[in-house]
Structure 1
Amino acid sequence: MVHPTLEALQQQVVEHLRLIYPEEDHETLAHRLIHAVGAEGHCVMARPRSEPWDQQDLIVITYGDSLRREGERPLHTLKRFVDHYLAHVATGIHILPFFPYSSDDGFAVIDYAQVNPSLGEWADIRDIAEETRLMADLVINHCSSRSRWFEQFKADEAPGRDYFITADPDEDYHQVVRPRTSELLKPVTTAAGERHVWCTFSHDQVDLNFANPQVLVEMVRIIQLYLSQGVSIFRLDAVAFLWKEAGTSCLNLPQTHEIVRLLRTLVSFYDPRILLITETNIPNRENLAYFGNGNEAHAIYNFSLPPLLLHTMLTGDCNALKLWQMSMPPAQMGTTYLNFIASHDGIGLRPVEGLLEEKQIADIATTMEAFGGRISWRSLGEGGLRPYEINIALYDAMKGTLQGPDQYQQARFLCAHAIMLSLEGLPAIYLHSLLATQNDLDKVANTGNNRSINRHCWDADALEAHLVDVKSHHHQVFVGLCQLARLRQDQAAFHPSATQFVLHLGDELFGVWRQSQRRDQSIFAVANVTDQVQTLRLSSLNLIGTQNWWDLLSGDDYPDLHGDIELAPYQSVWLTNRSRETAT
C-alpha cells in the first residue's frame, strides 16, 4: 500500500505535469520524478508554510577560488576564511558554480555531478555545508557544448540527442528576448547532418530541451545529488528562459512557472527547510511573478535594488528608490526578497525599465564608464541594441557622483549597505564588496569578458595583510560592514518579514520604518544620500513620546523628540525604542 503522504505527493506532481506535458503518461512520469528526488525515503509532506529565516541571516556570495593560497585547495582556503572572518557575520555561503566548466566562469557546466578538481572535491563542499547553509547554482537553462550530453547529441546517440533544442534558421525569431548579442542559433555538424541548436547566452552554452520530460528528470536527479552533499538553498540560474515556444518571447512562459512550482513541491516534500531562489534579471513586475501564489520561489532576487540604489547615490535623489519601495508588495508568508547590491554579474539595467527614464539610465552608464566600468549590451527583439548591465566593482562605482569623484567613496559605500540591510528581505553581500575589492582591469584584458572586472582572485595571504592594516580601506570597509551586519542580527524589527513603511522625508533622506512581528521593537532607518549635511527633524517621524529613542549606529540618545539630527554626508541612523540591554 502506498504511504498516504506519498500518494498525496504523487497527485500534486501529476497536476503539475498535466499543465507542462499534456500528452505524457503523468502517473509514470510523476513516479519517476519522486524517485529521482529521493522522496520515498522521507515521506514527509511539506509542513504549513513557515519562514526558515530571521534577522540573523545573511548570505555571502563568492566564487570557489576568489581566495587562493599556494599549495592549498581553494575550497579549503575559502572555508578557513569563512571560519576565521565570517563565522559571526554570515549564516549562508553561496558558492558560485563549482563544477567543471568550459566558459562563463562556471555557468557553462561540463559535468553537473563533479566538483571542479582545480577547486577541490565533494568532501570540501560537505565540510562547508556542515558549518553554514550552503547555496549552490542549479544551472538549469543550458549546459556546456563540451558536456557528455552534447557529445551524444553530435554523435546522434541517446540520451543526449534529444536533450537540446533544434530550430530552423529560416524561421522568424524577432520576438525572442535575449540578454546577449550573439546569434541565437548555432550550426552544428552531427552524425544526422547539420542541425541548428538554440543558444540563449553563448554558443558554448546550449539550451536544454525541457519539452523532453527526460531532461526534467535528469535535472531532478542533479538536485538530489546536491541535497546529498549538503546543499540547502538552490539558485535557479536564468530560469526565466527555460521554455521555448515558437511565436513567443520565450521568456516567462507558463510552462516555466509550472516547472518552478513542481520543483518547489518536490523539494518541500523532501525537506521543508530547502529553499529555491529564482535568478530572473528582468523587469520588476515580471520578476515578482516568480513568487506565484506563494507556491513558486521561496525568494526572488530583488534585481531593481542595485541600479536604483546606485542611481540614488550618484544623484543624491532618492525619489525613484522611494517610489519603487512604496510600490513593492510585502512578500507573502513563506516567501521573501533576496536583497543585494553587487554580485558576480554586473548591475542589471532591465530591472529599472519603467522605473528610471532613459536619460537617467544613460547618465548612470556614462558615470560608471568614467569610474573605470564597462557596459554590456543586449539584442532587442525588433533589432538594435540596448544597455543590459554595468560591469564595475561596487566600491569603485561609489567613488563619486554624476559630477565626478569626491572624498566620500567609503562613506557612500557603507551608506548604500546600511540602506540595503534595513530593508524587508534577506540580505546577501558579495565577497568582493565585503573586501572593498576594486576594478580588476587586468583580468578584463586577459579574458575579454567585461564581467571579469568584478571577479578578482585574491592571494589569501596578501588579503589578510590588508585586513589587519587599520589604514587600509579594505580593513576599514570590512570592519564597517561586519559591524552593520552583526548589529542587524540583534534587531527583531529587521526580521526579513517585519512590517515596513517608507518614510516621506524629502528626496535627500531615504528612510523606512520597520516594526517587529511581535510589535515590541520599532526602528526608523534613515540615510542621508547626499554629499551635503542634511537635517532630520525628529518631529517628522512621529516617535512615541513615552518611549526612549536612541541610535543603534552611533549610540546617541534622543530625549527631545522635537529636536533635529544633523546628518553628515552619507550618514545613517537606526533609531530604535528597544532597550540597550536587549538591542546590543
Structure 2
Amino acid sequence: MENAPLSHLEQRLIAHLQVIYPTLDNKVLSEKCLATFHLDPATESPQPHKNLWDQSDIMLITYADTLRRKDEAPLETLHQFVKSKLSDCISAVHLLPFFPYSSDDGFSVMDYTTVNPSCGKWDHVANLSKDFKVMGDLVINHCSSRSLWFENFKAGVHPGADFFYEADPSADLSAVVRPRTSPLLREVQTKNGEKHVWCTFSHDQVDLNFEKPEVLLEFLRIIHLYLEKGIRWFRLDAVAFLWKIPGTNCINLPQTHEMIRLLRLMIEHYAPESVIITETNIPNQENLTYFGNANEAHLIYNFSLPPLLINSLVTGNGSHLKQWLMSMPPAQQGTTYLNFLASHDGIGLRPTEGLLSEWELETLINTMKRFGGKISSRTTPEGEAKPYEINISLWNALSGSAQHGPDQWQFARFLCAAGVMMALEGVPAFYIHSLFGTENDLDRVNNTGHFRSINRHIWDMEDLEHALNTPTHHQKVFQSVTKLTQIRRAQPAFHPNATQYILHMGENLFAFWRQSLDRRQSLFAVYNMTDQPQSFNLSELNLIATDDWTDLVSEQVYEDHLGKVTLMPYQFVWLANKRGRVKSIS
C-alpha cells in the first residue's frame, strides 16, 4: 500500500524542520510535532496577510502582581481593575511571566506549566482571556538553574539531560553578542563530570539547546497548554539569541528565524486568530528582519521609539525621530508594529545605534541620570562595557529638559509622548505604570539590588484608589491618558495599517498624516516638541477644502483652512475631517 500524500501543512512543517535539523528524519519528527500539538495534518491554512487587529486595539503591559489587595489573588485584583476601569480603553493585556521563578522578576522560569501560587491560578488567566485578549510570555531562550529540567541535567536524567547548551571554555567565543557583562559560561558539576553551560543573561538563566528536537517538542506542549488556557498572543522573549554556533555572533542566526516560522505555522493552524510578537531588543535594521516575508512575527516591538521620542522631548528637537520614521517601511498587511514608550525593562540603547551620535547619546544618558535614572551595561565582543539601557520610570524621564533640568511642563510632556505613540502606525502598548505616572521606585532598587526594579513598583490597591480619586498627578495622568485612548480607538485613520506620511514642519514641530484604509478619514497629528510656544499655518497641511476639520483632542473646529495655529509647550492636535464616535467612560 502506497503512503498517503502529505498534506500542505505537513509539507510546510517538514520544509522548516529540514532547515533546522538537516540530518534527522524530519517526516517522523513532523509527525511527533503534530501529535504533540494535537494538530490534524489536514487542517487548512489560515488566510494570509489578514490583519488580526484594528484601531480599537490597545495593549496593557503588566506583571500579574503589580496591583495587590489583601486576601485576594493578584490576578483577580488585576482582572477586576482592568474590567472596571479600562474596558473602554484597552483590548489586550500582556501578562509578564506569571510562573514560579527564581530571579529576574519572572524571567528565570522554574516551571512553565503552573501559575505562581502567589499570583493566582490558571482559572484566573482563563477568566481574563474571556474579557480581553491575553498575551503570554514564552520565555524560550533560557530557563532557571533551579528548574526541574536543570536538576535533571545535572543528574543526567530526562527530561532535561540534554536540554541545555554546553560549550568548550577554550573555544573562541569572542564574537558572541550579549546584553550583559557577566561571564558567558557557567561551570557546573554534573553526574557526568564538569560541564560549562551557556548563559546569555545571567548564571541563573541557562540557555536551552534547540539543537535537540526534544526541546522543541517540550515547547510545543507548553504552547498548546497556553492556547488551551485562552492565551492567543505570544511574546517570544529574547528569541534573537535562540540558536548558537561558536565562532559566530550567536544572534539572529538563520535557524532562529526558521524556528519562529515553524512555531507560527503550528500556532496559527491551531488557532488562526493567534498573534506572535518577537522581543528583539537590537539595532533597528536587524529588528525589522523578524517580520520575515510576513511569515515570522505578526508584530515586532518598535524598540527605537522610546529612546528617540524621549530624546526629542527632552532636547526639543524632533529631527532624529522624524528621520527614523521616514526610513521605516510600511508594514505589510497581516503585520504591524507594537509601539511602546516604557516597559518592565529599561529604555534600550542598542536601537539608537546609527540613529543618535555618541555625543547625543551621552547627553541623553546624563539627562536621565539627572532625573534619577540608572544605567545598565553590556559587554561588547571587544570586552568593553557599554551602556545597554536606561532604567527610569517614564514619568521621571520626562520631568524636564536636557538644557534646563526639571520644569513645570512634566505633565504636558508626558501626555505629548502618549499622544505620539497612540497616533503612529502600529498597535500602542501602555506599561501599567505609564497610566498612573508612577515615579522611580528607588526603595525597590535598594531592596533588590537591580536597576530594573526602579520601574517595577508594586501598588497596594488602597493606595492606588486613593491616588486616582484625589487631586494628584496620578489622577490627572490616568484621566487624561484614558480619555486619549478612547478617542484613538474610534478613529479609522488610526488603524495600525492605515497610511502614514511624515510631514516636514521644522525641528520643533513633529507631524504626520494618517489616512484610513477606506480613505474616508484623514487625520493630521502635529506636536510641539519644545518648552516654548510654536506656530504653524494650516496652509502647510493638505486640508481638503470641502471638509470641516476638528481637533479631536480639544474639540476645536477650524473653519479657516488658511489660519495660524499656535501650540503651547508640548501641546498637540489631532486634526480630522471626520470624527469616529467615542464611547463614554464607564
TM over 0.5: yes
Q: Which residue of 1 aligns with 2:509?
A: 509
Deviation at 1:44, TM superposition (A): 3.5
Is residue 2:568 matched to residue 1:568? yes
Q: Which residue of 2 aligns with 1:251?
A: 251
Q: Which residue of 1 aligns with 2:447?
A: 446
Q: Cα deviation per residue 1:453-501 (whole Å; 9 max; x = unaligned)?
A: 00000001110111111x2100100011001100001100000000000
CA distance in 2, matches of 1:169, 1:345: 30
2:17 is paired with a residue whose SS is helix
1:161 is paired with a residue whose SS is coil
Q: Which residue of 1 aligns with 2:73?
A: 73
2:172 is paired with a residue whose SS is coil
Q: Cα deviation per residue 1:152-204 (whole Å; 9 max; x = unaligned)?
A: 11011123111111111111111000000000000001001110000000000
1:39 is paired with a residue whose SS is coil
Q: Which amino acid aligns with 1:339?
A: N
Q: Cα deviation per residue 1:106-134 (whole Å; 9 max; x = unaligned)?
A: 00000000000010111111111111000
Deviation at 1:4, TM superposition (A): 9.6
Is residue 2:265 matched to residue 1:265? yes
1:365-514 alignment, distance < 5 Å = 365-403=365-403, 404-469=405-470, 471-514=471-514
Q: Which residue of 1 aligns with 2:208?
A: 208
CA distance in 1, matches of 2:221, 2:308: 38
Q: Which residue of 2 aligns with 1:104?
A: 104
Q: Which moved more, 1:96-105 or 1:150-159?
A: 150-159
CA distance in 2, matches of 1:451, 1:88: 30
CA distance in 2, matches of 1:247, 1:494: 45
2:250 is paired with a residue whose SS is coil
CA contact (8 A) 1:375 1:450 kept: yes
Structure 2 vs 1, CA of residues 101 and 484 (structure 1 numbering), >3 Å: closer, same or farther?
same
1:139-178 alignment, distance < 5 Å = 139-178=139-178
CA distance in 2, matches of 1:164, 1:296: 25
> Cα RMSD (Å) of the superposition?
1.6
Deviation at 1:400, TM superposition (A): 0.3
2:363 is paired with a residue whose SS is helix
CA distance in 2, matches of 1:454, 1:5: 55
Q: Which residue of 2 aligns with 1:295?
A: 295
Q: Which amino acid aligns with 1:196?
A: H
CA distance in 1, matches of 2:441, 2:364: 20
Is residue 2:117 matched to residue 1:83? no
Deviation at 1:48, TM superposition (A): 3.0
CA contact (8 A) 1:491 1:583 kept: no
CA contact (8 A) 1:5 1:43 kept: no
Q: Which amino acid aligns with 1:67?
A: L
1:525 is paired with a residue whose SS is strand
Q: Which residue of 2 aligns with 1:553?
A: 553
CA distance in 2, matches of 1:538, 1:399: 31
CA contact (8 A) 1:187 1:194 kept: yes
Task: Note the residue ranges of structure 1 that are not aligned, 5 or more in a row.
Answer: none
2:40 is paired with a residue whose SS is helix
CA distance in 1, matches of 2:28, 2:581: 59
Q: Which residue of 1 aligns with 2:334?
A: 334
CA distance in 1, matches of 2:113, 2:581: 49
Q: Which amino acid aligns with 2:21?
A: Y
CA contact (8 A) 1:400 1:408 kept: yes
Q: Which amino acid aligns with 2:560?
A: D
Structure 2 vs 1, CA of residues 481 and 4 (structure 1 numbering), >3 Å: closer, same or farther?
farther
Q: Which residue of 2 aligns with 1:527?
A: 527
CA distance in 2, matches of 1:259, 1:353: 27
CA distance in 2, matches of 1:355, 1:36: 44
Q: Which amino acid aligns with 1:338?
A: L
CA distance in 2, matches of 1:281, 1:460: 32
Q: Which residue of 2 aligns with 1:118?
A: 118
Q: Which amino acid aligns with 2:435?
A: L
Q: Cα deviation per residue 1:54-93 (whole Å; 9 max; x = unaligned)?
A: 0000000000110001111111111111111111111000
Structure 2 vs 1, CA of residues 409 and 42 (structure 1 numbering), >3 Å: closer, same or farther?
farther
CA distance in 1, matches of 2:68, 2:426: 32
2:137 is paired with a residue whose SS is strand
CA contact (8 A) 1:44 1:270 kept: no
CA distance in 1, matches of 2:4, 2:346: 47
CA contact (8 A) 2:185 2:197 kept: yes
CA distance in 2, matches of 1:219, 1:264: 13
Q: Which amino acid aligns with 2:443?
A: D
Deviation at 1:303, TM superposition (A): 0.2
Q: Cα deviation per residue 1:200-248 (whole Å; 9 max; x = unaligned)?
A: 0000000000111110111111000000000000000000000000110
Structure 2 vs 1, CA of residues 538 and 11 (structure 1 numbering), >3 Å: closer, same or farther?
same
CA distance in 2, matches of 1:581, 1:421: 17
Deviation at 1:49, TM superposition (A): 2.5
Structure 2 vs 1, CA of residues 344 and 198 (structure 1 numbering), >3 Å: closer, same or farther?
same
Q: Which residue of 2 aligns with 1:92?
A: 92
Structure 2 vs 1, CA of residues 120 and 392 (structure 1 numbering), >3 Å: closer, same or farther?
same
Structure 2 vs 1, CA of residues 193 and 582 (structure 1 numbering), >3 Å: closer, same or farther?
closer
CA contact (8 A) 1:42 1:270 kept: no
1:80 is paired with a residue whose SS is helix
Deviation at 1:542, TM superposition (A): 2.1
Q: Which amino acid aligns with 2:406?
A: P
CA contact (8 A) 1:499 1:515 kept: yes
Structure 2 vs 1, CA of residues 209 and 2 (structure 1 numbering), >3 Å: closer, same or farther?
farther
Q: Which residue of 1 aligns with 2:361?
A: 361
Structure 2 vs 1, CA of residues 417 and 31 (structure 1 numbering), >3 Å: closer, same or farther?
same
1:6-25 alignment, distance < 5 Å = 7-25=7-25
Q: Which residue of 2 aligns with 1:230?
A: 230
CA distance in 2, matches of 1:64, 1:186: 31
CA distance in 2, matches of 1:468, 1:88: 19
CA contact (8 A) 1:6 1:43 kept: no
1:25-36 alignment, distance < 5 Å = 25-36=25-36
Structure 2 vs 1, CA of residues 230 and 391 (structure 1 numbering), >3 Å: closer, same or farther?
same
CA contact (8 A) 2:538 2:563 kept: yes
Q: Cα deviation per residue 1:405-450 (whole Å; 9 max; x = unaligned)?
A: 0000000000001001010001100000001100000000000000
2:575 is paired with a residue whose SS is strand
1:351 is paired with a residue whose SS is helix
Structure 2 vs 1, CA of residues 395 and 42 (structure 1 numbering), >3 Å: closer, same or farther?
farther
Q: Which amino acid aligns with 1:24?
A: L
CA contact (8 A) 2:236 2:277 kept: yes
2:331 is paired with a residue whose SS is coil
Structure 2 vs 1, CA of residues 42 and 458 (structure 1 numbering), >3 Å: closer, same or farther?
farther
Deviation at 1:43, TM superposition (A): 2.5
Deviation at 1:583, TM superposition (A): 10
Task: Note the residue ranges of structure 2 that are not aligned, 5 or more in a row.
Answer: none
Structure 2 vs 1, CA of residues 5 and 90 (structure 1 numbering), >3 Å: closer, same or farther?
farther
2:232 is paired with a residue whose SS is strand
CA contact (8 A) 1:44 1:271 kept: no
2:276 is paired with a residue whose SS is strand
CA distance in 1, matches of 2:23, 2:191: 29
Q: Which residue of 2 aligns with 1:51?
A: 51
CA distance in 2, matches of 1:493, 1:392: 32
Give TM-score, length-normalised by structure 1: 0.98
Structure 2 vs 1, CA of residues 583 and 436 (structure 1 numbering), >3 Å: closer, same or farther?
closer
CA distance in 2, matches of 1:556, 1:516: 21
Q: Which amino acid aligns with 2:410?
A: Q
Q: Which moved more, 1:395-404 or 1:152-161?
A: 152-161
Structure 2 vs 1, CA of residues 4 and 465 (structure 1 numbering), >3 Å: closer, same or farther?
farther
Deviation at 1:6, TM superposition (A): 7.7
